[in-house]
Amino acid sequence: MTLLDNLKWRYATKKMNGQSIPEDKLDYILEAARLAPSSSGLQPYKVIVISDRALLEKIKPIAYGQEQITDCSHLLIWIAWDGYSDERISNVFNEMMDLRNLPHDTMDAYRQKVLELYEHEGKEWQAHHAAKQSYISFGMAIATAAEQKVDATPMEGFDSEKLDELLKLREIGYKSTVILPLGYRDADNDWLINMKKYRKSKEQFVLEMSVEDAADINVSEKFNLNDLATK
Ligand SMILES: Cc1cc2nc3c(=O)[nH]c(=O)nc-3n(C[C@H](O)[C@H](O)[C@H](O)COP(=O)(O)O)c2cc1C
């Protein structure tokens, strides 16, 4: 099966059957999440893996009672830095230089530039920027789960403040960003399983643009942008 076939196969599973996924498949999905690219290679996030039933029961109400939390095999939780700091950024660059057998100061100018850029944006922007990076890893995990024929439900439907409190994330300088129950679909009881996948059409989604288009004051007409703005 091609990647596109797998992406068509997957769906945001609403009902899972409680079956466990093999450890090697879990590792494979986590490895794809680890290999995701991130801005400046900082990887300002981590993934928490939970299969402990008692902890999942505590998380379920925080995720507004969504049943996949307790019917899944493993719950993945992406957590991201609550802000950038000289220490956090320098640690990454130093490890990178060690790995590449280069002196620590090799990328000092770049490191300084990143730090200045981020410092000036403030803590809220920084946490948001780190959270955005975590979503790239999250996307990789979703696609890889599909390749492994493991079902997954991408979820933002949870109270992140409460989850951070439960998992003591504030104490370690992290915030939860997004969660992904992994498991297997309950084909007989999932209302979504036979529904057609809804996506915007290619025409609505892909806008090809040339330098002339960009300079054309009528560009909104060409792309029917007034219409597209609401689609
Ligand atoms: C970031 C994000 C958050 C989502 N949150 C939830 C959620 O909390 N609960 C849920 O059942 N589905 C959730 N979904 C699933 C989407 O509704 C679903 O991916 C979308 O409708 C497309 O359908 P498909 O994934 O079945 O192709 C979320 C998806 C994404 C990408």
Q: For 197-227, how does the pLDDT look when each residue is reduced to its tens digit (9 = 90+)?
A: 999 999 999 999 999 888 876 766 666 666 6
User: What tokens does 22 get?
Assistant: 């093999």
The CA-atom distances, in angstroms, between 193 and each of 41, 90, 146 are 37, 47, 15
Taking only the tens place, the pLDDT of each residue in 80-125 is: 999 999 999 999 999 999 999 999 999 999 999 999 999 999 999 9
User: Closest Cα to atom 31, ligand 1: which residue?
Assistant: 154
Res. 42: pLDDT tops 70: yes
Residue-level pLDDT at 215: 84
- For residue 175, which of 33, 51, 55, 46 has the smallest C-alpha distance? 46
Radius of gyration, CA atoms only, the chain: 21
**Ligand 1 center from residue 11 Cα (angstroms):** 8
Please report, as a single letter, which amino acid is at residue 229.
A
Residue nearest to atom 18 of ligand 1 (CA): 12
The single-letter code of the amino acid at 91 is N
Distance 157 CA to ligand 1 centre (A): 9
pLDDT at residue number 229? 67
The structure's pTM equals: 0.95
- Could you give all domains of the chain from N- to C-terminal order, each with its CATH number? 3-196 (3.40.109.10), 199-231 (no CATH)
Q: What is the mean pLDDT of residues 12-20?
A: 98
Residue 80 and residue 133 in contact, taking contact as beta carbons nearer than 8 Å: yes
Residue pair 71/18 in contact (Cβ under 8 Å)? The answer is yes
Which residue, judged by its Cα, is nearest atom 17 of ligand 1? 12
